[in-house]
Chains A and B, each alone.
Chain A
Amino acid sequence: MNDIANFKNTLTSSFTDFEKSLNGQSKQPLHSIRKEALANFEQAEFPNLKNEEWRYTNISPLLKHSFNPLPAVLPLMYDDIQQFLLGDTFNHVMVFVNGRFDENLSKINNLPDGLIVKSIATDVEEDDPNVLEHFGKYALSEGQIFTSLSAAYTFDGAFVHVQEGKIIEDPIHLLFIADARKDKALIQPRNLFIADKNSQASVLEHFVSLSEDIYFTNTITEIVVGENTYFDHVKLQEESKRAFHISRTVIDQELSSNFTSHAISLGGDICRNDINSKFNDKGGECTINGLFLLDDSQLCDTHTLIDHAQPHCNSHEHYKGILDDKSRGVFNGKVIVRPDAQKTNAFQENNNIILSNEALINTKPQLEIFADDVKCSHGATIGQLDKEAMFYLKTRGIGEDIARAMLLHAFASDVIKTIKLLPVRDYVEAILTKKFNQ
């Protein structure tokens, strides 16, 4: 109990310092959202295993550390980050160091017509009405300790706005670099993506670390997918293996919109991803895929919620996990079909492979259905590599190690091959190849 009180006190008392650092910004309307969130943070319960949403994930190791919500930002050079740029293939790159936008390292000068990409901090200063209209409207902070913490310390993050009818060919690469060499940083990027009517865009959120240190990333992304719009979202998480990563992505889907998400989780000591998508109008299409690849004592918890609030929507979900050593995986996929959301199709699948005796997986595919004219299904499998496939490969003269690598690669590629951004797909493939051929 004391740990929780300490955790809350430290973060609440730092708020005054944070306010001071805001300069003139604390007069803006956004600041009332921050203050409200702070109040929510103080009241919110710290999750324990009795909380159904946190049943399998013990987040209390977080309390052992004292994180600095205003972490030091050391200047970085292009050479420091070059390794994370995926071969320099992207034309639009935003770089955040410990949650703060670094203009010098970023590449957003050459934006096509109809695409606005900037730091949310600048956007707030410019009083963009879009921010006030959408900010914090989807990822509500009440009762959510981590969301309210993020909202209270909202300062920077990526703001992406695709204007009506614009098709943005080049993906936008958001690179979040954690640098905890100086102190245990609390890094809280807060992103807002808005895609107006009839537009199209793809965004890559990429989390990396400069060193294997302890820090805490707590990130929120809100995505508004407008009418007839196609939005592709990829989240690639390669945090330090000692870090905490908590992320929440909330998607609002309008009439006939199409949203796809891929979440690849590789790093972090404890990683928790929440992905919530809601159909606010008819004819929506939503694809949520993911892969988690864990070893050592990593824990990765994914909670997805697809809310079929309106009829005639389709959702597809496919998550795969590979667990080695003492790692733990948690998957909770929930699909709600509200009353009157007729003609809903919702499909969900979760497959896991356990490679060691100590690894553990808890999976809970969950359907809550209140309408009758629907087709919903979910499936979950847990097993090891197919012995027959293994045998087949061996009879062809392929050694055990290589055969194993091939099969694991094939298992993972079901998810990877649906990633539309080729450089990302190649990058993840390369990571897998390296990992399995060790």
Chain B
Amino acid sequence: MSSTEVSKLEELANQEYKYGFVTDIESDTFSKGLNEEVIRQLSKKKNEPKFMLEWRLKAYRHWLKMVEPHWSNVKYDPIDYNDISYYSAPKKKPLLNSLDEVDPELRATFDKLGISLEEQKLFSGVAVDAVFDSVSVATTFKEKLGELGIIFCSFSEAVHNHPELVKKYLGSVVPSTDNFFAALNSAVFSDGSFVYIPKGVRCPMELSTYFRINAANTGQFERTLIVADEGAYVSYLEGCTAPRRDENQLHAAVVELVALENAQIKYSTVQNWYAGNKEGLGGIYNFVTKRGACRGVNSKISWTQVETGSAITWKYPSCILQGDNSTGEFYSVALTNNYQQADTGTKMIHIGKNTKSTIISKGISAGKSQNSYRGLVKITKKAENARNFSQCDSLLIGDKCGAHTFPYLEINNPSAQVEHEATTSKIGEDQLFYLNQRGISTEDAIGLIVNGYCKEVFKELPMEFAVEAQKLLSVSLEGSVG
């Protein structure tokens, strides 16, 4: 490679995180620390009914007995859970009906993020429940969805307005005692999104939430619960960007999906949180529990994720295939650069008869990053005729990075058919040469090849996301070649 190319690459590599800015809004923040009093205060602040407080306290008491897990293939400094403030809300809580009443500064932030609410409202037909530092700021299209009986609101609202649904489904997929981070989330979650699609309703638009971490030192604990009743369909988008910070921020979210008979849930994520600087300083710790339960016959849950951000990504969106003929899918692109670490994959638990699952995972490691796929396919004794296909490919860019695969296959039924394949390779020199001699620069060629490599996953994403994901990938890869 010529020296000019190298310098150009260096320049690109040194690019600052595009979304690294802090919005200066007065925040109402709890002092640091975690104890029962903090949880009571939090619950009181949010005006929660008694059952929520009890649920939180139960989770907290259990959490105290748990030990932080360390089996993953990632390394990080110990987290001091008493050095985190568990609540931060913009002080002027806007209880607004129209966007015009939203704090202008906040609006500007959304504009910078490229999700101008008006624009989305007007052109894209996407209802946005924007989460700005834990408290829902504005919810659009609620009325339109309301006509169909669809509930799409912040979690706090759901607790007030639909306590029976919350009570029934909260923790039914990810129990409050499930794991260390899920228990922590259950105790202190501040807000999140709640979706309920009634029987036989096909949600006419893609539902979307933009997460954003703002005030310094506030871990964000989101909780999402999506319930698709019999025969319902919903596609849900989750996307994140966060301002740059030098201290690591913990993000321990929980996402629960419930699909009843013949229901279908499609959950797509584009994750681009601050990944730390070139030296690996700062960045978000993304320790998330995501799980979906296909409860009914013929139900289907599909996870699609594009993970490019975060200093550490540690999550396994999973499917519990309880209903007969139910289907679970997992499509993932995980890209790590510089000092990023990712340990991600999925769990497919086959319980019902004729259940099917597909896993397509594409890992790309560049720089000095470590990228692991860890997945479990479990066919239980009664899961007759279960079928699984898994494919995990890794692409290595540079010789200082690592790619690892840890697939676990546990098969307890002779009628199961399980296939797993994995490959690891680098971008072919002949491929690059071919594109170069057609006049395509190495940088572009790599973008092209990587996008082709990820195509199987991108085609599962909704249109708007697919475009964003491709852009993200090229931006994240910039400077990794040389």
Residues of A in contact with B (beta carbons under 8 Å apart): 52, 56, 339-340, 342, 352, 354-357, 359-384
Contact = CB atoms under 8 A, between A and B. Distances in A.
A354 B411 CA distance: 9
Contacts of B80: none
B411 A360 contact: yes
Interface stretch (B52-60, B126-134, B152-160, B414-422): B414-422
B273 to A, nearest CB: 26
Contacts of A365: 405, 407, 420, 422
Contact of B424 (A340, A369, A384): A369
Nearest to A337: B424
A179 B419 CA distance: 42
Contacts of B397: 372
Given A363-B409, A372-B401, A382 B421 contact: no
Contact of B410 (A360, A366, A368): A360
Given A363-B409, A377-B421, A342 B402 contact: no
B425 interface: yes
B399 A382 contact: no
Given A354-B411, A362-B410, A383-B418, A367 B400 contact: no
B144 interface: no
A217 B404 CA distance: 34
A237 to B, nearest CB: 23
B406 interface: yes
User: What is the predominant secondary structure among interface residues of chain B facing chain A?
Assistant: strand
A379 B423 CA distance: 9
Given A52-B71, A362-B408, A357 B413 contact: yes
Contacts of A356: 414
22 contacts: A339-B399, A354-B413, A361-B410, A362-B409, A362-B410, A363-B409, A364-B407, A364-B408, A366-B404, A366-B405, A367-B404, A369-B394, A370-B401, A370-B402, A372-B398, A372-B399, A374-B396, A376-B423, A378-B422, A380-B420, A380-B421, A383-B418
Contact of A381 (B403, B406, B419): B419
Contacts of B424: 367, 369, 374-377
Chain B, interface residues (CB within 8 Å), range = 20 to 34
B92 interface: no
Interface in B56-72: 71
A350 B404 CA distance: 18
Contacts of B408: 362-364
Contacts of B410: 56, 360-362
A217 B419 CA distance: 34
Given A354-B411, A362-B409, A369 B421 contact: no
Contacts of A352: 411
Contact of B407 (A371, A374, A375, A380): A380
Nearest to A334: B406
Contacts of A371: 396, 399
Nearest to A353: B414
Given A359-B414, A373-B426, A380 B419 contact: yes
A173 B99 CA distance: 84
B381 interface: yes
A79 B425 CA distance: 56
A362 B412 CA distance: 9
A354 B405 contact: no
With a 10 A CB-CB cut-off, give which of A359, A362, A368, A377 has the most chain B CB atoms.
Answer: A368
A382 B408 CA distance: 12
The 7 nearest A-B residue pairs measured at CB: A372-B396, A354-B414, A376-B424, A382-B418, A377-B423, A379-B421, A380-B420
A93 B423 CA distance: 43
